[in-house]
Amino acid sequence: MKSSIEEAIDIATETLIKPFEGYALKLSDGSCGAYPDPGTGGAPWTIGFGSTGPDIVRGTIWSRQQAEESLNSHVLYFTSGVLQLSPNLVNTLPRRLAAIISFAYNCGLRNYRISTLRKRINEGNWEGAANEIVKWNKANGRVLKGLTRRREAEAALLV
């Protein structure tokens, strides 16, 4: 039997992160190539299921296995970070933790740490959290349809 945290990780990965990040720039052999950030048209360069980092630049190619391993590693990293910033998420519904893992995976722990979203989560104000998370639908000051859909899906899991 899975723990509630393991269940949350599965929900975040399979229901939110993989579908919204996609396995982008898939090459004919099943590997994937780096692509520019949709919001900026450049940095940060992204690969696989939304992985970024200093070693990911134009021309980087990963195997499907590398992309899956990076996804799993990053999900664990963001889960740990979210639980440190909002310890009350340990005792909530797995779907709520999943939504915040997905948010942090996409927006980063720093943004989560400084957000009113986190404040609402830590207050246990789930409706307020749902109202806050949908505000994070912009990249480079522009509303993106994909981010709007993702934030709406995360918000639905919070209430």
Q: Count the Cβ atoms, other than its own, within 10 Å of residue 117.
A: 25
Alpha-carbon dihedral angle through residues 119, 124, 127, 130, given to the nearest 10 degrees: 50
Residue corresponding to tokens 């749902």: 130
The residue type found at 76 is L
21: annotated active-site residue: yes
Ranges assigned E (strand) in 5-45:
32-33
Query: Who's near 61: CB < 8 A, 6+ residues apart?
Result: 27, 31, 32, 33, 34
Catalytic pick from 6, 7, 14, 21?
21
Phi-psi region of 123 (alpha: psi -120 to 50; beta: other; left: phi over 0): alpha
Catalytic residues: 21
